[in-house]
Structure 1
Amino acid sequence: MVNTTHRQPLQALLAEYLSDDEDPGPPYSLPSPPVDAIYSSEKEAMDAINEFTKQHGYALTTKSSKRHEGDGQIKACYLHCNCNGVYKNNIADNKQVREKTTHHENCPFRATLHRDRQTDKWSFEIKDPGHNHSPAPVHTHPTLRRAEVKKCATTFENQLAAGITPHQILDTAKCENRSNIIPWDIYNFHQDLHHKFLDG
């Protein structure tokens, strides 16, 4: 027969703990982008939003979008933190891979960009402001690094055309305080140019 003498006090303590009405809130309180701004385009909105999030150690990406049935124009973009999702490691431990710079933490942050059909302006609305991760350096966020590469695209393209190697370009970028860009960003940019050239 099972001895239940000490079970009741333990259950009572557990019940008392679970009934605590105090809300601990999200483990990390990262500032959210302002919701009172109006934007002329989706791109302008995303650029401004991620310029803000960059200062606070995270980034937002578009998870999906919704279009009007008539003209097919986008009417809403559903955003999430780029730490959303669950990381699945399908690579054996004995395989050598390049260092992973991002982490999927299943972050709950959600927001929406709305396009006003009458004014053709965009507004930003937060659905869930919570984050479950600490802020991280800019170089760990691919979204922010891609935006930085786009700003330098013409310069990088001219340097590559002049025969300057990706490694040399990266050294120059670091000297110009673009230290958030990593080697793979330059190599990927180079590959994209090569594919565009082959595609004519």
Structure 2
Amino acid sequence: MANSSGLDNLVPWYDSNNDFKDLSNFNMPDISEILTVTPATTVKTPVMPPPPTDQQFPSLNEAMKAINNFTRAYGYTLISQRSKADKETGEKKTVYLRCDRGGKFIPKVNDDARIKSRTSRCVECPFSAVLDYNIVSGWGLRIRELSHNHDPSLITTHPSLRHDELVKKQQQIEAQLYLGTPAHKILEVLKKEDLETSIKPQDIHNLCQILHRKFLDGCTLIQALLTILPEEGKWIFNWRADHHVPVPEAGDDFEESAMITAMPLLNIVGHTATGGTFYIGFTFIQDEKQNTYKFVLNCLRDVYDKLNLVPPRTVLVDKDKALINALKQVFPETNVMLCIWHINHNFLAKARPMIRKELVEIHSIDDPNFDKQVHEKWQQMQHLWMKVVNTATIQEKNEIWREFKQEYSDELYQPVVDYLESEWLEPDTA
């Protein structure tokens, strides 16, 4: 700061009485004699400081854990680059560390061919350190190169940090996966416990795949299922193996093995008086042929007989003739009816494009009420169709069906009319 005497020396050159008339004899004082400036002494702290080197660790794992617990707060991490072992004992004595971005950058495309597209984080960062083992003091850290050539990054971008945290929380995540909790829900729980968690959804998916392969233990999905069923509750199950089905051997391509496990799932459910449903059985089938369905239904019939249950009075199915024929053979006393939900679902798939096409010619597709108009048109068509379905006599059905064809006599709807008539109103269906 300037002292008061120096400021007094500055003031007299201005005098309101002389109105700046005579400034020729005024001598500007030397500022350097008045102001004394002392520059502040600052110490610049590195944005990415190195781990402390004044600590000793009893094991290599503890040393790496402590180092990366420190570095994660500053947006980088250290990984092992190479090591040296004792020639006599074979135990590691020196481990060379580098920043995880210290590798050589590999471009996505080379000169010869396009390789798998992935992002490379390596920027040849020069930072390096060494962990040395001393039989007395244990493992100690020394820094070889202090500088980085990149900015700090999010902890979720460091695979080694995510791996360490995943191992730490693996038991908790496994329990959630066993209950069928999706990855994003598991991650929400982890973030509630720790907002700075480094785990990403892909890490949970990868863990799920590892557990899946461990569970299979070289078996096919069906083999693994047959192994675990006796241990999981009181399941009644049966199976058969067809000798003509090829069994994948070691070294087979994944696509060939996948063909064995791509089996349709046949759900067998019951319907309550209050409109609810409950599961009766699950069946993985090789194909959707009559003999396959017959084996499944015979297994179901055996369960009914063992439990002294009355065979079902009515069974609802889609229009799978192989399944209908198998039902008539195994449960001859059971009425087989078509499921109206399947009928309407297929009907909608055929009719909706035609309705949209008709309304596009009248209204703009950009109209905010366009989808509502399509839905209302479909409701009208479905209402008239349900009158056909719910008729009590053939004569009444024919009358309502003529009304339906007259209402939708436009050439645009002819494919829908033909579909309903040939698929759902033929003699063996109606």
TM-score (norm 2): 0.37
Which of 57, 82, 85 is residue 39 of structure 1 equivalent to? 57
Q: Map residues 7-86 of structure 1 onto 2, 5 A cutoff.
A: 29-86=47-104
Q: Is the 1:68–1:75 contact (alpha carbons within 8 Å) kept by the matching residues of 2?
A: yes
Q: Map residues 160-171 of structure 1 onto 2, 5 A cutoff.
A: 160-171=177-188
Do residues 143 (structure 1) and 160 (structure 2) align? Answer: yes
Deviation at residue 95 of structure 1 after TM alignment: 9.8
Change in Cα spacing, 1:168 to 1:35, as seen in structure 2 (3 Å) is same
CA distance in 2, matches of 1:197, 1:65: 35
CA distance in 1, matches of 2:176, 2:214: 17
Which of 153, 157, 170 is residue 153 of structure 1 equivalent to? 170
Letter in 1 for 2:127: F
Q: Is the 1:110–1:128 contact (alpha carbons within 8 Å) kept by the matching residues of 2?
A: yes
Deviation at residue 166 of structure 1 after TM alignment: 2.0
Q: Map residues 162-181 of structure 1 onto 2, 5 A cutoff.
A: 162-176=179-193, 177-181=195-199
Give the secondary-structure state (helix, strand or coil) at the position aligned to 2:68: helix
Deviation at residue 65 of structure 1 after TM alignment: 1.1
Give the secondary-structure state (helix, strand or coil) at the position aligned to 2:143: strand
What is the CA RMSD across the aligned residues, in angstroms?
Answer: 2.4
Deviation at residue 157 of structure 1 after TM alignment: 1.3
Q: How many residues align?
A: 169
CA deviation digits over 1:117-146, x for unaligned, max 9? x23711111111110011111111111111
Q: Is the 2:56–2:137 contact (alpha carbons within 8 Å) kept by the matching residues of 1?
A: no
Q: Identity, % of aligned pairs?
A: 38
Match of 1:112 in 2: 130
Deviation at residue 110 of structure 1 after TM alignment: 0.7
Q: Is the 1:76–1:115 contact (alpha carbons within 8 Å) kept by the matching residues of 2?
A: yes
Letter in 2 for 1:197: F
Deviation at residue 61 of structure 1 after TM alignment: 0.3
Match of 2:201 in 1: 183
Give the secondary-structure state (helix, strand or coil) at the position aligned to 1:55: helix
CA distance in 1, matches of 2:91, 2:212: 32
Give the secondary-structure state (helix, strand or coil) at the position aligned to 2:206: helix
Deviation at residue 29 of structure 1 after TM alignment: 4.9
Deviation at residue 91 of structure 1 after TM alignment: 4.9
Q: Which moved more, 1:153-162 or 1:38-47?
A: 153-162
Give the secondary-structure state (helix, strand or coil) at the position aligned to 2:74: coil
CA distance in 2, matches of 1:37, 1:95: 44
Letter in 2 for 1:133: H
Q: Is the 1:29–1:130 contact (alpha carbons within 8 Å) kept by the matching residues of 2?
A: no
Match of 2:17 in 1: none
Give the secondary-structure state (helix, strand or coil) at the position aligned to 1:184: helix
Match of 1:87 in 2: 105
Letter in 1 for 2:183: P
Where does the alignment leave 5 or more consecutive residues of structure 2 unmatched? Answer: 1-45, 219-430
Match of 2:293 in 1: none
Change in Cα spacing, 1:66 to 1:96, as seen in structure 2 (3 Å) is closer
Deviation at residue 192 of structure 1 after TM alignment: 2.3
Letter in 1 for 2:162: R
Where does the alignment leave 5 or more consecutive residues of structure 1 unmatched? Answer: 1-27
Larger radius of gyration: 2
Q: Is the 2:108–2:115 contact (alpha carbons within 8 Å) kept by the matching residues of 1?
A: no
Match of 1:9 in 2: none
CA distance in 2, matches of 1:130, 1:46: 20
Query: Which structure: greater helix fraction?
Result: 2
CA distance in 1, matches of 2:197, 2:80: 25
TM-score (norm 1): 0.76
Deviation at residue 97 of structure 1 after TM alignment: 5.7
